Structure formats: structure tokens, C-alpha cells
Amino acid sequence: MSYLYKSTFETPIGTMTSLVAEDGIYFLQFADSLTSKQIKRVQKHFQRKIIEKDHSMNLKVKQELCEYLEGTRTEFTIPTIMKGTVFQTKVWQALKNIPYGTTLDYQGLGKENGYPNASRAIGNANSSNLIMILIPCHRVIRSDGSIGGYAGGVSRKQYLLTLEENYIVSKNH
């Protein structure tokens, strides 16, 4: 049987839990918003046993996430392994294409990806994202310009958006 390696670690914005294997990351969530149902969903989808053990891919996740939160990394190199409906997978891929430091509303994301009237469905797919930050669902905001919700908490979403915005501003000066 194949394994997923579980690791819990501290970041400047809270404790995070990751599930990885040799081929990439399967799960990344804030520990305080984590549910056992999410872990079981990943285990069931991928038919892998979960063991709590550090793995070189977990170390890479920690390193790249730390660099991102320090403002020295704008792109991740870790493969994201996602499993969902065809629509969800398309939305998650579209999220990865939103440039660092920019935001897009649900309707705009839909229009850019051939789903102009699917804002609500896009929001639902966004909320099913199990790989926070690396699949940047925090970059999607409401059409009125407000930041909207975030599974990791609105204050964390604001932190991430401000981090990226400040990097872009400092880079342009």
C-alpha cells in the first residue's frame, strides 16, 4: 500500500497540517480549521494509508511555504495532487493561474475559464480546495471588492493578500 505522510508545523499565521507523497502535496490546511472528515476524504480518494512521519516532500513544503510567508517566494514548485469533479479540477487549476499579488472575483474567474454564469458553483469548488495557499483560493474575492470568506479565516486571507500586495508594491519601487 502507498502512503501519505502527515506533518504538522508552525507558520507565522498558524499551525498547518500537510499530507504528501513522493509525487507531491495532497493536502494543506490550517490545523484550527482542520476536520477529520477532510483527512478521511483524502485517504479515501487516493486509497493510501496515512502515517505521521516527516518526508522530504514535507520538508520542501515547509521550506517553500516559509519563503512565501517571508515574501521571498512568489511561485511554488511542489506538484499539487488534486482529485475532484471535472469542474472542480478546472476551477482549482484556474486558481493556480491567478498571478501572485492580484485578485479576481468569482464572476471574473468564471468568465476567464468559460463559465460566465457559474459564480456560485465556482465558489463551491473554491471552498472544496484542500491545498490552501499553493492553490491560491485566497486570491478570489467578491464582486463588490470585499474579500469574502476563507476556510482558514478572513484575517488570514487578508494577511495573505496584504503580503502579496506589499511585495508587488516594493518590487515596483
CA gap 16, 33 in Å, rounded:
9
In this structure, how many other beta carbons lie within 10 angstroms of the beta carbon of residue 77?
A: 8
**DSSP at 145:** S
Q: Give one DSSP letter per residue of 62-112, joined into a string.
A: HHHHHHHHTT--SS--SPB---S-HHHHHHHHHHHTSPTT--EEHHHHHHH
CA gap 46, 107 in Å, rounded:
31
Of 104, 130, 133, 137, the catalytic one is 137
Q: Based on the residue annotation, tell me whether 137 is a catalytic residue of this protein.
A: yes
Residues marked active site are found at: 137
